[in-house]
Amino acid sequence: MVGATVTSSAKVILHLDMNSFFASVEQSHDPSLKGIPMAVAGNPKERRGILVTCSYEARALGIYTTMTVGEARRLCPELVIVPPDFEKYRNASNAVFTILRTYTDLVEPVSIDEAYIDITAIGGLTSAWGIATDMQQRLLRELDLPCSIGIAPNKFLAKTASDMKKPMGITILRKRQIESLLWPLPVIEMHGIGKSTEEKLHALGIHTIGDLANADELKVKTSLGKNGLRLHHRANGVDHRPVDPEAAEERKSVGSSTTLPIDATDLMECLDKFKWLAQKIATRLDQNQLAGSVIMIQIRTSDWRNQTRSRSLLNPIYKAEDIYNEASEMFKTHWDGEPIRLLGITVSNVVSMNELHEQLSIYNYEKHAKDEQMNVLVSKLDEKFGPGTIKRGN
């Protein structure tokens, strides 16, 4: 273990992010893949397959995650594509976290290839660079896997710092550097802000992180609620979240329900309520930069009988339109016409937006690959016997 144990009131947190994790694992197992444009994708022979990740050599050519195989090969005909090996990635992730926990128990997994580590008690800022360097070199030496590390007084700044130098970077970000390094950047560059939140901030005349940091708190809160205050604080470098080893993969669900003033028997009236609920949930998901892959509806009838129906989705959703479409389809399928007292929607199995490609690949990709094969079969039948010969069931 690097660094003597010390007691310090100033927090020092690392954010460790493995570089192009799936691609790096493949390169570690097959050195012939190193130094060339390569990618991991489901069904490499199918042009509509999706890239899960790609090497930095591929990225330099304009290839990126979620691009189709066909698009990637048009940009780079010599691109080498390998199919995903989920067991291999899980094993590599376990090995990474085993090494990290040799330094301290205060390791919080964020995803399969990302973690926060509180090193305050094992050296703090005095030993931070040495600890980070040792971690990075051990992962490279023992597992042949590269990573980038951010060092900062809190999670937000550590995450921001780890993004500054990739691959194999180590960056220290201090609060006093926020004004010069972060404030000039557009708000969309700030971790935790998506397109919807960006649009709301623009409507307030807030275009840069500095604008957000210096904006009137009440003005931001009125528009964005508690999340607005949270973002305002983080733009000023304030984030009190602890590193929690118990946190993580089982995150909360996001839901909303409404009791109707008069028992409803009209389909369109119920669907309007679902549309309103979907918008509320989408706003909360956006505020917390989350998306979920399980959707559930709740129906309470006038005689207080509760019914729930749920559906697991291939990929996480977060848009109001998608939430409404899923909820309304379930409702139309299962409602028997009884008068309704309450309606609700819950989106669960939620993940952070920046993990979407990882969740697709490691947890949903096997299902996605099967779905891709079914799409090919349906297309071939349509070509042979005419459009509409066979249709996918729900």
Question: What residues are annotated to the active site?
Answer: 114
- Dihedral sign, CA of 130, 136, 142, 144? negative
List the Cα angle 347/351/353 in 5-degree steps.
110
- The CA-CA-CA angle for residues 204, 205, 206, to 5°, reads 90
Determine which helix (DSSP H) or strand (DSSP E) holds 332, and give its type and residue range.
Answer: helix 320-334
Phi, psi (degrees; rounded to nearest 5) at 302 = -65, -25
**Amino acid code (one letter) for 334:** H
Residue-wise burial string across 273-304, b where 16 or more C-beta atoms lie within 10 A, e elsewhere: bbeebbbbbbbbbbbbbbbbbbbbbbbbbeee
Q: Which SS3 state, helix, strand or coil, does residue 350 take?
A: strand
- Element holding 113 (H helix, E strand): none
**Please, are residues 108 and 244 in contact by the beta-carbon 8 Å criterion?**
yes
Within 8 A by CB and 6+ apart from 46, the residues are: 69, 372, 376
What residue has token string 């304030």?
238
Residue 357 CB coordination number (10 Å): 17
